[in-house]
Amino acid sequence: MPAAPRPPARKSPADFRQSAEVFKALSNANRLLIIDALSTGEHCVADLTELVGLDMSTVSNHLAVLRNVGLVTDDRRGTQVFYSLRDPCVMNMFCCLDDFRAGRPR
Amino acid sequence: MPAAPRPPARKSPADFRQSAEVFKALSNANRLLIIDALSTGEHCVADLTELVGLDMSTVSNHLAVLRNVGLVTDDRRGTQVFYSLRDPCVMNMFCCLDDFRAGRPR
DNA sequence: GGGATATTTTGCCAAATTGCAAAGTGTGTC
DNA sequence: GACACACTTTGCAATTTGGCAAAATATCCC
């Protein structure tokens, strides 16, 4: 469970840019689907391709985006590559977002 | 402080799309700067323009993006418009992101 | 009505993003 | 070495994004 919110240290522009990069990686519904799937455990690319329903090259690109900001890690075993969440605490952001959206009538 | 993480209800594709929209709104460093400024209280467009250092039309566009996903609300008073965070719990997402990034050596 | 101030909207352009198809690469088996 | 399987990278086209400048709009005062 995330720590109580605390006033974060004063942020530099670089902090905002790095944060923006992570949010950008999460700004695509297919990547969110991938993250959600990985929250239950590691998956190989073929698994995720079936789940997402896009071309495997597209899924591979999305995984590269997620890996580049450190959201997921890869583990090659034979011809398959298995992806996992680098830190499951990213799911806390989903909970926060759910809370935020719940507070907003549509 | 956010509730303990709990397995969220199974998400529909529409859920992921809506979540992606909020993340997309947060995927720009200037909009994060604006959100951060608003966490200390309401600001008018001129204030935010000075803070961000971009053209006022650009700031206005960014505010429109934030308003469209429900992150901020506007309040016109005379010729000025004051913006606020609709729900300060969005700052919890910043804390979660800070925790996430802290766990990642760069 | 006009004028001033503050803000929003529109148009344009360059850059970035996202999908697929095709080509390329890595691993394992023979 | 070739071949099969799994995955990654590249090229392309369509779409979106984000900046500024200019125009338009809203409020207030006279």
B40 touches strand C (CB under 7 A): no
Per-residue pLDDT tens digits of chain A, which is 106 residues long: 444 455 556 678 888 999 999 999 999 999 999 999 999 999 999 999 999 999 999 999 999 999 999 999 999 999 999 999 999 889 988 888 888 888 765 4
The Å distance, CA of B87 to C1' of C3, is 39
Q: For position B13, what pLDDT does the model report?
A: 82
Question: All domains of chain A, ordered by start, with CATH?
Answer: 19-102 (1.10.10.10)
On average, the pLDDT of chain B sits at: 89
pLDDT in tens, B31-66: 999 999 999 999 999 999 999 999 999 999 999 999
- Vertex B31 angle, CA B25 and B36, to 5°: 115
B38 and B52 Cβ atoms separated by less than 8 Å:
no
pLDDT band at B94 (very low <50, low <70, confident <90, very high): confident
Angle, helix B45-52 to helix B56-68, in steps of 10 degrees = 110
- Read off the pLDDT of each residue in B9-30 and give the average, rounded to a whole number: 90
Nucleotides of D under 7 A from a protein CB: 4-10, 17-23, 26-28
User: B11 CB contacts (<8 Å, ≥6 apart)?
Assistant: A36
Tell whether the model's pLDDT for residue B2 goes beyond 50. Answer: no
In angstroms, the separation between the Cα of residue B78 and the nearest Cα of chain A is 27
In this complex, the answer to whether residue B17 has its CB under 7 A from any atom of chain D, a nucleic strand, is: no
Q: Which of A18, A98, A103 sits opposite B101 (nearest CB)?
A: A18
Long-range (24+ apart) CB contacts under 8 A made by A61-68 are: A62/A28, A62/A30, A62/A31, A62/A34, A63/A34, A65/A25, A65/A28, A65/A31, A66/A25, A66/A31, A66/A34, A66/A35, A68/A25
- The whole-number pLDDT of residue A98 equals 87
Give me the pLDDT at residue B21, please. Answer: 95
CB < 7 A to strand C: residues 47-76, chain A? 54-55, 57-58, 61-62, 65, 76
Residue B105 — pLDDT band, cuts 50, 70, 90? low
The reported pLDDT for the residue numbered B71 is 95
